[in-house]
Structure 1
Amino acid sequence: MGHIVGAALVSHHPGLMQCEEFRVLMGAGSDSDLIPGYARLREKIAAAKPDVVMILDSHWFTTGYHMVDGAARYQGSYISDEMPWYLHGVPYDYRGHPELALAIEAVSREQGGYNRAINHPELGRQYATINLVKQLGLELADIPVVTVSSCQNCDWPHFLQSGESIGEAIRRSGLRVVLLASGALSHKFNPIDWKPNHPRIFHESNVSRPENIASDKGAIALMEQGRHDSVLERWQDEYRKMPWEAFGAHYLQMLGAMGGAACRAKGEALSAYENARGTGNIHIWFDQETA
């Protein structure tokens, strides 16, 4: 039987792909804790010994279906259409896992869901995937990566359902899988002419609004307690309205795969809670083998 051997909510903040000199300059001499947080996450993934890493990509927006990328290999040079002036010329070369992608579609069809596999050589990448592949050394470790999209005409229960199909397919697969929910919590950007509240650009006080900071920290506290049921209870009235990045699709798909409201996996913060152009970011690990 397959098993989810670990999971994490992970920031993919594109500024972290900039050169060290620029980041230190922007941080007034103090770099982001999300950078060493990636090293901590690498250690967790290595200890989990996964056969596959699945990235729930909050930037890959699809319509009609949650897509599961099922190519055997991904090779190319990435350029961001969002920030091409500095996020460009990033080479990537990593393996996929077509069998798992097809298994997820099969289970989803069986359950009346909306997950579908896709394998097309010209399908582009998103930096919510590429940044994690690079920062977590998944190419060097030669670990297959499967990316899942955020279906933009779905509501939050559909994302939980998507995760349920993913979890069942993993159980039937015999594979050891780590899930990475790639995205932020609250996702309201600061205006282009915004003046920082704190000289350290990544500092939490530079998140767009005080109420977003309070809400994000409340959600983080519940995750650390393993009270994902309480997060879901507050979803429609609070977190959906913030809103979280991709309306929380990345977290909800991860949670659906781990049991939904019944999940009691306690979160371990692997970085400080930080700002990224006004959005709330953190790395949180959920150890499934002891959950």
Structure 2
Amino acid sequence: MGKLALVAKITHVPSIVLSEIDEGPRKGTRQDAIDGLKAIGQRCRDMGVDTFIVFDTHWLVNASYHINCAKHWQGNYTSNELPHFISNMPYAIPGNPELGKLLAKVANEWKVDTLAHDGTTLAPEYGTLVPMRYMNPDQHFKAVSVSALCMAHYLNDSARLGWALRRAIEDEYDGTVAILASGSLSHRFAQNGLAPEYAFKLWSPFLETMDHEVVRMWQSGEWKAFCEMLPEYAVKGHGEGFMHDTAMMLGALGWSEYDGHGEVITPYFGASGTGQINIVFPVTPVTGKAIPQPQASSAQGFQAVSRL
């Protein structure tokens, strides 16, 4: 029925917006990231994509998984984290309530507690808004946003959510979709007072070396090894959103059974201490046998990655 056409891990760092609007020394310094987002957007247009599903690592939730599928979003956004980087940024994005509710239905059928919100005043976070600024400036695409800063969730369940969303798309949706995991690799911000010094580099050589090894594994297709190391990488790499967006993305691709190879669109770069990239993953057929089973409820409900 439907088609999952493209999956990508993308950057949303606020310095992208700053580099666009600044008339000072930051002007144009993130053009490579902007060009990468635009290139992925164009590729999705060429593939006939009608809707983006964005796994947003800035949408914090404490219970259940949530899908923001309002009919339309419009407003002006200022980041509460970095208001000197993103301030009064206008946005307008068509939503897709039909798809959002379908995604939640199928996720629940796969035993992942998920709620869709179509009649809501809740606006997207900048993990959705920044990429859409460059990938969807003319409102060509619809979008739904999925919570991916998950405070009391297992990575296994996030992977299972990703697989359930793929099943919803391919088995029951009449359309073509792209999935965007919006989040960084390592995410250790520069210590307060040192941000300007680390504007274009990583916080530590350890984090940079680890990130480069992960990108190499993605390009080489070493998915079994990466899936096994993801929980530890999320902790030791200070993963953004505890790397639930990455688990969701890999779940949609087929988890450790995935046999594709990452295609780097924007090469890895440092931003305020964090590691960023735009990388596309081809969608290949999978059986789903390797999709992690849901974790049993217990008093140990917080996985290690939730205790940063």
TM-score (norm 1): 0.90
CA distance in 2, matches of 1:111, 1:141: 32
CA contact (8 A) 1:184 1:279 kept: yes
Matches within 5 A, 1:36-51: 36-51=35-50
CA deviation digits over 1:213-247, x for unaligned, max 9?
11111111111122222211112333432221111
Query: Which AA in structure 2 matches 1:111?
Result: W
Query: Which AA in structure 2 matches 1:261?
Result: S
Matches within 5 A, 1:112-191: 112-136=111-135, 138-150=136-148, 151-172=150-171, 173-191=173-191
- Secondary structure of the 1:33 match is helix
CA contact (8 A) 1:53 1:177 kept: yes
CA distance in 2, matches of 1:24, 1:85: 14
Query: Which AA in structure 2 matches 1:145?
Result: A
- Secondary structure of the 1:140 match is coil
CA distance in 1, matches of 2:177, 2:46: 12
**Percent pairwise identity:** 26
Partner of 1:234: 229
Offset, 1:264: 1.6
Query: Which AA in structure 1 matches 2:9?
Result: L
More off after superposition, 30-39 vs 174-183: 30-39
Partner of 1:210: 205
- Cα 1:99–1:282, aligned 2, differ >3 Å: closer, same or farther? same
Offset, 1:249: 1.0
Query: Which AA in structure 2 matches 1:266?
Result: H
CA distance in 1, matches of 2:83, 2:230: 34
**Which of 241, 246, 249 is the matching residue for 1:254?**
249
Offset, 1:124: 2.7
Query: Which AA in structure 1 matches 2:131?
Result: L
CA contact (8 A) 2:19 2:31 kept: no
**Which of 228, 245, 267 is the matching residue for 1:272?**
267
- Secondary structure of the 2:236 match is coil
Structure 1 residues without counterparts, runs of 5 or longer: none
CA distance in 2, matches of 1:47, 1:264: 23
CA distance in 1, matches of 2:174, 2:220: 29
Offset, 1:197: 6.7
Matches within 5 A, 1:46-85: 46-85=45-84
More off after superposition, 56-65 vs 239-248: 239-248
RMSD: 2.2
Query: Which AA in structure 2 matches 1:121?
Result: T
CA contact (8 A) 2:93 2:142 kept: yes
Aligned residues, how many?
A: 284
CA distance in 2, matches of 1:42, 1:70: 20
More off after superposition, 144-153 vs 38-47: 38-47
- Secondary structure of the 1:18 match is helix
- Cα 1:175–1:229, aligned 2, differ >3 Å: closer, same or farther? farther
CA distance in 2, matches of 1:217, 1:53: 27
TM-score (norm 2): 0.85
CA contact (8 A) 1:16 1:23 kept: no
CA contact (8 A) 2:196 2:272 kept: no
CA distance in 1, matches of 2:206, 2:134: 30
- Secondary structure of the 1:80 match is coil
CA contact (8 A) 2:259 2:284 kept: no
Partner of 1:96: 95
CA contact (8 A) 1:229 1:261 kept: yes
CA distance in 1, matches of 2:57, 2:284: 26
